[in-house]
Amino acid sequence: MTSLPRPKVVDGVDATAAGGQPTRVTFGPSDYWPVWSPDGMRLAYGGSTNFGGGPRLTIRDLPANGAARDFASELPASEAQKISHFANLPTDWSRDGRFIAFDDGVGHEVQESVIVDLAGHNVALRLQNQFAQWGTAFSPDGSRIALVSVESGRPEVNVQAWDTTPSPHLVGERRQVSRNGAWLVRWRADGRELFYVGMDNFLYAVPVKGLLEFGDPEPLFRIAGVPQYGTARDFQFDVSPDGQRFIMPATGSVPPPPFTVIENWQDKFHH
């Protein structure tokens, strides 16, 4: 594989740099983890709710005044019950537009990744076992999924074959891709590289050589600031189709606030 030039680290980019003004597209008190549909005409996100169980998988048609719907409300009751009692935080939308993957929580709360079938109006697959797993991302050709699992004793990126016929299911064994820990993963648009954030706060690239064949991870750059894994901050990242540009929230570059210690504070209340 011919390697592309590696990306350079640049300063943060203003959201209005391309011209125009940002447009608000959700209106709940707190909405989470937006994921674009392949055609760019819809957003999936964890919509805030007053009914308990955490954010619900919400799909909004664009432009901003388009309709929004709670996906669970379109499911048969038996299917809706499978996902109504925990958070629905989307992580990816398959290239064919049929599947959305989401996590059931964030940080130490997350235990499983769920894949729902928009066409079949059902819960296609729940990736659950005794080990926490999260962050499912579909390969561009739809033949594999990448996700993070702690099965090895620490979070690592794993890839497994995925087939949708006769019904969605995983195939064969998982292949571990990362080394020394990882917790977020994305595919390059042509499927020839995987990118992940390591526990050391470096962003890595992994060449994809075959269905389940991968090269050695290559560190691209260190993300400024303290590592975000295990914190309450909602840190995510994404990559441009050519694998040359990355976007991530500025909170990843903000150090934690300093502690202030006040000694003999009781004396301030003595008269």
Average pLDDT estimate for 166-172: 91
Q: What pLDDT, on the 0 to 100 scale, is given for residue 251? A: 56
Q: Inform me whether the pLDDT recorded for 91 exceeds 90.
A: yes
Closest by Cα among 73, 120, 115 to 91: 115
**pTM for the whole thing?**
0.83
Confidence of residue 1 (pLDDT cuts 50, 70, 90): very low
**Domain architecture of the chain: domains with CATH:** 24-129 (2.120.10.30), 139-253 (2.120.10.30)
User: Which burial class, exposed, middle or buried, applies to 268 when counting CB atoms under 10 A from its CB (0-12, 13-18, 19+)?
Assistant: exposed
- The mean pLDDT value of the chain amounts to 83
Give the mean model confidence (pLDDT) for residues 235-248: 89
pLDDT tens readout for residues 116-158: 999 999 999 999 888 989 999 999 999 999 999 999 999 999 9
**pLDDT > 70 in the chain, percent:** 80
Residue 225 confidence (pLDDT): 78
Calculate the CA 201 to chain-centre distance: 16
30 or 179: which carries more pLDDT confidence?
179
